[in-house]
Structure 1
């Protein structure tokens, strides 16, 4: 388990050699403890991982690659990648968790634009995404095994690795009430992977949010920017579905953490099963 907020703040203060003030404990995500802290007149984000986790080392490699995205991504302030107290401090990216009332079609188009920009970066040297057929005896697992040989594994890009609405930050326009994407965070899972990996993962998230149509809009926007169709997207969707098959209910705290408190484990399961049947 990650350390407590109090111990994390102390460790971050020691790392910077100045006292930080705790402003907020972020609730989205389960892997790391994430704090917003004040560092003088500026704000920083502090993320602490369980002892022995190598997430800091992985994120450091990714942050160097994505710096050209500017204010859309966090930038390194300080880090401790030691096994006993893995900790990373970055600049704060503007925005917050998505508005639960946000138009999912607008969300999908903006996420497609952001992902296209990310995929335009060089991922060479980042960890290679594991590219083996999924195991398991579920029906969707067998389908994924059969579809694996049809995937295009050669067209590798810089992949975020966990590209879903909760790893994007948003602001709400007070005049139009529209949600605007301001950034993408949590880069510890970044990889050098085929572009279909992120595409299918985000499409599945939009389905779990309740809108298979938004998933199609997301794909259409990405393909329009790419100038070419993703011919194997159905096979990638099947891979993502197989990965979620035995654990989708465990993602419920993530959705509650971004304010979707009406979401239930049963609803996640039923939406995933309906999506699987359509693939």
Structure 2
């Protein structure tokens, strides 16, 4: 079924809030949501509409209530409902913008590490547990990921964002000020988020920044991630079939220079390093 239009999303937000809203702008919501920034003249809100029967809103509601310790770095739930079968959620709008395309990868790495160390202090007990089983595909990378499964430390689970990349962070110049898109959060080992963010830094073009992120995260969190290579392999195995389609997500944060071809090239080089 087709997604809701921007006009329909605004109208649904007005119904849920019982007040008129004015569209400020459309936001990059990835590939599974229509996301807008709207205002009632006093307060600003983010309204997100997902595909029909998506469980995303139900999951996010259970996560947002756990994020109070993050303060202004996380959104607060305002309202939720549905329109024509599309789940819709309204949250507070966080200050900040997408990372500047000229922001050095090492700065992104440092700020992401600091934020993730705070997130991983939160309890994820009761959220969906991940990972649940090793990969089942038959590619060379999948076979390696399956073999690495036994090396993973699946204990010490925390609240994990589960899509922790720079496009889900909000920035004020060179400072990370917020993290959004919490509907996928899980109860999982910290290596899940660490590897996913490392891979994003690789796709931004800097393996060195990925390594800097790991060192900074371990220092700030006080936790060593000895099985990071195994987590890196699993992250790459997940990305491998889809990475070209992520050009839309990078374009949505102002990085149209990161094309499908560049994503494929950078991930392939990363996979070669991981398998070497």
TM-score by length of 2: 0.96
2:238 paired with 1:237 = no
What do residues 67-87 of structure 1 show as CA deviations (whole Å, max 9, x unaligned)? 221100100111116881311
**Residue number in structure 2 paired with 1:93:** 94
Cα distance change of structure 1 residues 88 and 28 upon mapping to structure 2, 3 Å threshold:
closer
What do residues 65-113 of structure 1 show as CA deviations (whole Å, max 9, x unaligned)? 1122110010011111688131111111110111011011011011011
Contact 1:156–1:195, Cα closer than 8 Å, also in 2 = yes
Cα distance change of structure 1 residues 124 and 83 upon mapping to structure 2, 3 Å threshold:
farther
What SS does the aligned partner of 1:241 have? helix
2:185 paired with 1:190 = yes
Contact 2:31–2:249, Cα closer than 8 Å, also in 1 = yes
**Residue number in structure 2 paired with 1:80:** 81
What SS does the aligned partner of 2:7 have? helix
- Could you tell me which of 200, 204, 207 is aligned with 1:205? 200
Gaps of 5+ in 1: 173-178
What do residues 132-162 of structure 1 show as CA deviations (whole Å, max 9, x unaligned)? 1112121111110000111000110000010
1:42-53 equivalences in 2 (<5 Å):
42-53=43-54
Pairwise CA RMSD? 1.2
Name the count of aligned residue pairs: 273
**Residue number in structure 1 paired with 2:163:** 162
Q: Which runs of 4+ in 1 moved over 4 A?
A: none
**Residue number in structure 2 paired with 1:105:** 106
Contact 2:74–2:179, Cα closer than 8 Å, also in 1 = yes
Which whole-Å CA distance do the structure 2 matches of 1:183 and 1:233 have between them?
Answer: 25
Contact 1:52–1:83, Cα closer than 8 Å, also in 2 = no
TM-superposed CA distance for 1:250, in Å, is: 1.0
Contact 1:135–1:145, Cα closer than 8 Å, also in 2 = yes
Which whole-Å CA distance do the structure 1 matches of 2:240 and 2:135 have between them?
Answer: 11
What SS does the aligned partner of 2:65 have? helix
